[in-house]
Amino acid sequence: MMFDRITRIAFGVASAFLMLLAFGLIAYAAYEVVRSLLIDRTDIGATLLEAVGYTVIAIAVFDVGKYLLEEEAIRGREMRQAAEARRSLTKFISTIAIAVFLEGLVAVFEAGKEDLRMMIYPTLLLFTGVALIIGLGIYQRLSAMVENEISDPESSKKTPKARTARGTA
């Protein structure tokens, strides 16, 4: 019981720290944009793209912190329904995939302006985002099938022909 409490506190502290870091990234991005506008008068486009990158990373970091807080610190390791766990994981992975896609797009714009040979990294980021979405789709499909079989054990005993006939009727 004491170890569980210590673990929850550790996850709570870690998630709060991650959230503070995310806010720090956003504040730094805003500072750089304002500084570029008022003081440097440098290429504002590059500064804005960099700020978008920091903001995207901050969103992903904040979501990781929120996930740790909700799933580990508040709820602990209690048993939940499979559908609830699937929804939670889907939301988490979706946020990470969006962050990867946005970071890939920012990197495409930056690399396209400088050197086309630098397009390998953004391309790999975009492929990673696609792989995350495909993996999430496969996970959802398989877990939904298992949930349906568990909730309706009679349907798993029927032959595929009977299920097909039932579906066409």
pTM equals: 0.64
Query: Per-residue pLDDT for the chain (169 aa), expressed as one digit of tens each?
Result: 788 888 888 989 999 999 999 999 999 999 999 998 888 767 787 788 888 888 888 888 898 888 888 877 787 655 566 777 787 788 778 878 888 888 888 888 778 777 778 888 889 999 999 999 999 999 989 888 887 887 776 655 555 554 554 454 4
What is the rounded CA–CA span in Å between residue 18 and residue 14?
6
Tokens of 52: 């978008």
Which residue in 58, 53, 72, 56 sits closest to 15, CA to CA? 72
Q: What is the DSSP secondary-structure string of 53-109?
A: HHHHHHHHHHHHHHHHIIIIIISTT----HHHHHHHHHHHHHHHHHHHHHHHHHHHH
